[in-house]
Amino acid sequence: MKLRLGIYNMAGTDTTKWWNRWWQRVGEPPVIYDSTLTAQSVRQLEKVLENRGYLHPEVSVVKTADTAHRKMKLNYKLIPGERYVIRSIDYEIEDSTINKLIFADSTKIIIHPGDALNRADLDLQREVILRTMRNNGYFGFNKENVSFVADTTLGSTDVALTMRVSNSVNERQQPNIFEKYVIRKVICITDFDPSSADSRDMIEVHDTVDYKGLTILYGERRYLRPGVLRDNILLNSGNEYSERAVDRTYQSLSRLEILKFVNIRFEPAGNIGNIGLIDAFILLTPGKSQSFSVELEGTNSEGDLGIAVGLGYSHSNIGRGSETFNAKLRGAYESISGNIEGLINNRYMEYSLDMGLTFPKFKAPFLRDSFKRKIRATTEINLSMNYQERPEYTRIISTLGWSYKWTERSSRTRHTFTPIDINYVYLPKSTNDFIDNIAPDNPLLRYSYEDHFIMRMGYTFYHSNKRQVMPWQRQPQRDIYTIRANAEIAGNLLYAISNIFAHRDNAHQDPYKIFGIHYAQYFKVDSDVAYTHIFDNRQSAACRIGLGVGYPYGNSTILPFEKRFYGGGANGVRGWAVRTLGPGCFPGSNSVSDFMNQCGDIRFIISGEYRLKLFWIVEMGVFIDIGNIWTIKNYENQPGGLFKFRNFAKELAAAYGLGLRLDFNYFLLRFDMGMKAHNPAIGQEPWPLLHPQWGRDHAFHFSIGYPF
């Protein structure tokens, strides 16, 4: 179906109207036959075949005109002929040192006798040699210094290939490609203006600092400490030139939020014998360090009016080390009407403060500077406080966290380590018997409103084989996988201290407390593996499998509510709304009590999805989800939720559905509609796939990003 052409034809001919222009832009105009473009296509097809080793292809085109419908049909006929094969390879390398360097690693030799003569392989070999040379001090080496000569014999498809590495491309070439280059000086200019300062002689220097082999030329202000610049510049005086070190310097400096532009230039600085000298200039352009924001909200809840104001502040260089400080203060008020007898407040009030401080380095004692420079971690400290006044209670929620984040050099693997994260909930006031009234026998609901304390440690791992497609690569990546894993543990240190000073034989019945508050003790692991196969630029298929387990022990008999798994939702089994599936065969209902009960300690899900680009930014998805959640212990309020291996298969829920997605490149909006296929809940129709009912079985989901 020519869907985009149909959309284009929906537009009117009057282009002064905006909706006609919009339909034309979303659609695709018809292609008008052009004989010159047809001839150009023939030449392009011949060139493609020649580049693949078919040196004498024949390409013809048969044109069939349909005058009645004003259409032209083109059939291209390709006869590639015999493919030319490399039978021998000779190497002409003028410099013996370069010759040894090229052949030092056999894995960097891409072309071998017996391979087809393929231009893409030749270009890839040139690129590999270029990177090898420039990472070993040969600053003057260029891709054009590597050339190939293919000698063919009449009547044969054998090719005698010669690879040449020489300086004959440009006899005046400076610097010399056969010289290794050593960095003489590393000079950092902190106030470089790329728009007006075409020459470094025009830069106004207010102060010059020499720090550990780095010369720093400051402008009007020292907005970055010398130590910060030294830690993030991987180029050193006396070292051989290395393009790898240049790339790592770019990556390190780009992590500094205060910098707007970073540029690195090199200039020849003479010779010492057969060794060339170059000076490295690090050109930095600072951006704005501070920003403010204001947010205003208004609400109307059945006639009760409310207002909220948020003030935000950000400083990207608060300690002259590109430390980023963020703070947000928010206040909200809403009036209430009706009978307030027996309540402690006659309004809704909320005050919150969120603060975060990010250091672009590994802030930890007892670690060597060389290790910190290698890891390139970011240290984050976060603090938040939330004060809530409700008619029934007053509650304070506080969190404090310290974490490290770093990415490996390939940028495909990311780590997050959180040595400490504290969550504290305190209810100083509540109406008489508030908790007993809302949750007389529901421990999960009670936990959400009781004082509690969580001190945890966690680790998150992410890895993907997705790579950036380079220009010399023959085709885009077809198979992509990602691995995500999380692990956390809480309460062990507090339990050990409590056990030393106040030993109890049964902490389950009489749990330990800190500051008079029961603290949680548990461990939790959660992982997902996703795989995507790309058929072409319009179609792909994706699947994923996810598994998670959480277990309370020691000072706890149940996982904290916010740490438990839930079923359904936009990223779960999409035939169910969020938190309406499971655990196990637990039937649930629409009540608040069952909403709190529909969570578990074990999670399992398998999903498959076919994705198709329709037109413009519009995509379609067809999906199947299978999974559920279970409890790891037999809880009274969750009958049927206990995991039993013999019931595993029959308690798996299944759903199918269609999705519509809008891909804006930077983000993707997703609209999914799921239908129940198998429902394990007691008292429900077990096979809605065979007996569908729209009102009972469907669920709509709106989210941002793909589900996996």
Amino acid at 641: G
Q: What CA–CA distance (Å, rounded) separates 449 from 442?
A: 11
The three-state (H, E, C) secondary structure of 696-707, written as one string:
HHEEEEEEECCC
Report the range of poorest mean pLDDT among 240-254, 285-299, 473-487: 473-487
The three-state (H, E, C) secondary structure of 359-413, written as one string:
ECCCCCCCCCHHHHHHHCCEEEEEEEEEEEECCCEEEEEEEEEEEEEEECCCCCE
Here the contacts of 367-376 (C-beta below 8 Å, separation 24 or greater) are 369/231, 372/231, 373/231, 373/234, 375/406, 376/251, 376/252, 376/255, 376/406, 376/407
Q: How deeply is 310 buried, as exposed, middle or buried, from its count of CB atoms within 10 A (0-12, 13-18, 19+)?
A: middle
Q: How deeply is 86 buried, as exposed, middle or buried, from its count of CB atoms within 10 A (0-12, 13-18, 19+)?
A: buried
pLDDT at position 200, please? Answer: 57
Could you tell me how far CA 35 lies from the centroid of its own chain?
46
Q: Is the pLDDT of residue 527 over 70?
A: yes
Query: pTM for the complete prediction?
Result: 0.81
Q: What CA–CA distance (Å, rounded) separates 20 from 16?
A: 8
The candidate with the shortest Cα–Cα distance to 596, out of 424, 438, 427, is 438
Q: What CA–CA distance (Å, rounded) separates 699 from 708?
A: 19
Distant-in-sequence, close-in-space partners of 408: CB < 8 Å, separation ≥ 6: 414, 415
Q: Is 574 helix (H, G, I), strand (E, B) or coil?
A: coil
Q: Is 49 helix (H, G, I), strand (E, B) or coil?
A: helix
**Helices and strands (H, E) in the chain, number of each type:** 13, 28
Q: Is 109 helix (H, G, I), strand (E, B) or coil?
A: coil
Tokens for 229, please give them: 């610049």
Q: What CA–CA distance (Å, rounded) separates 489 from 420?
A: 10
Q: Report the chain's C-alpha Rg in angstroms.
A: 33
Average pLDDT over residues 358-385: 85
* Average pLDDT of every residue of the chain: 88
Tokens for 441, please give them: 């026998």
pLDDT at position 365, please? Answer: 79
What region does 582 belong to: left with phi over 0, alpha with psi -120 to 50, or beta? left
Residue 456 neighbours by CB distance under 10 Å: 23
Sign of CA dihedral 132, 138, 144, 148: negative
pLDDT at position 155, please? Answer: 79
- Stronger pLDDT, 344 or 126, i.e. the higher one: 126
pLDDT at position 508, please? Answer: 65
Q: What CA–CA distance (Å, rounded) separates 522 from 552?
A: 4
Banded model confidence at residue 471, pLDDT cuts 50, 70, 90: very low
Average pLDDT over residues 197-211: 75
Q: What is the DSSP string of 159-220?
A: EEEEEEE-STT-TT-SS-TTSEEEEEEEEEESS--TTT-SSGGG---SEEEEETTEEEEE-S
pLDDT at position 470, please? Answer: 53
- Stronger pLDDT, 309 or 4, i.e. the higher one: 309
Q: Is the pLDDT of residue 516 over 90?
A: no
Measure Cα distances from 104 to 149, 166, 470, 630 in Å. Answer: 23, 19, 24, 56
pLDDT at position 106, please? Answer: 87
Q: Is 538 helix (H, G, I), strand (E, B) or coil?
A: coil
How would you label 438-449 residue by residue, b for 16+ Cβ within 10 Å and e otherwise?
Answer: bbeebbbbbbbb
Banded model confidence at residue 197, pLDDT cuts 50, 70, 90: low
Q: How deeply is 153 buried, as exposed, middle or buried, from its count of CB atoms within 10 A (0-12, 13-18, 19+)?
A: exposed
Measure Cα distances from 124 to 143, 233, 242, 306, 477 in Å. Answer: 10, 30, 20, 63, 16
Distant-in-sequence, close-in-space partners of 51: CB < 8 Å, separation ≥ 6: 118, 119, 120
Q: How deeply is 29 buried, as exposed, middle or buried, from its count of CB atoms within 10 A (0-12, 13-18, 19+)?
A: exposed
Report the range of poorest mean pLDDT among 52-56, 133-137, 197-201, 642-646: 197-201
How would you label 340-349 residue by residue, b for 16+ Cβ within 10 Å and e otherwise?
Answer: eeeebbeebe
pLDDT at position 168, please? Answer: 63
Q: Is the pLDDT of residue 2 over 50?
A: yes
Q: Is the pLDDT of residue 201 over 60?
A: no
Q: Is 566 helix (H, G, I), strand (E, B) or coil?
A: coil
Tokens for 523, please give them: 């461990």
- Express the helix, strand and coil content of the chain in percent, nearest 5 each: 20, 45, 40
Q: In the chain, what is the straight-line distance between the N-terminal and C-terminal CA atoms, in Å? A: 29
Distant-in-sequence, close-in-space partners of 445: CB < 8 Å, separation ≥ 6: 438, 439, 592, 593, 596
Amino acid at 326: N
pLDDT at position 637, please? Answer: 84
pLDDT single digits (tens) 63-81: 999 988 888 999 999 999 9
- Stronger pLDDT, 460 or 427, i.e. the higher one: 460
Banded model confidence at residue 430, pLDDT cuts 50, 70, 90: confident
pLDDT single digits (tens) 400-426: 999 999 988 667 899 999 999 999 988
Residue 399 neighbours by CB distance under 10 Å: 16
Q: Domain 180-286 carries which CATH code?
A: 3.10.20.310
The candidate with the shortest Cα–Cα distance to 651, out of 661, 660, 659, 641, is 641
The candidate with the shortest Cα–Cα distance to 548, out of 572, 513, 575, 579, is 572
Average pLDDT over residues 619-636: 95
- Maximum average pLDDT range among 28-32, 180-184, 362-366: 180-184
pLDDT at position 472, please? Answer: 44
Could you tell me how far CA 347 lies from the centroid of its own chain?
42
Average pLDDT over residues 294-310: 86
Q: Is the distance from CB of 318 to CB of 327 less than 8 angstroms?
A: no
Q: E strand or H helix at 468, and its extent?
A: none
Report the range of poorest mean pLDDT among 27-41, 320-334, 430-444: 430-444
Q: Is the distance from CB of 660 to CB of 683 less than 8 angstroms?
A: no
501 phi/psi in degrees, rounded to 5: -95, -20
The three-state (H, E, C) secondary structure of 496-507, written as one string:
HHHHHHCCCCCC
- 3-79 CATH, one of 3.40.50.920, 3.30.870.10, 3.10.20.310, 3.40.50.300: 3.10.20.310
Residue with tokens 């020499």: 210
pLDDT at position 446, please? Answer: 67
Q: What angle do CA 219, 224, 228 make, to 5 degrees?
A: 135
The class level of CATH for 85-165 reads alpha beta
* Tally of residues, the chain: 708
Cross-sheet strand order for the sheet of 214-218: 207-211, 214-218, 180-189, 275-286, 259-272
Task: Give strand ranges (E) for 11-125.
Answer: 58-66, 71-79, 85-93
Amino acid at 223: Y
Q: What percent of the chain has pLDDT over 70?
A: 91
Helix-helix angle 18-26:3-10, to 10 degrees: 170
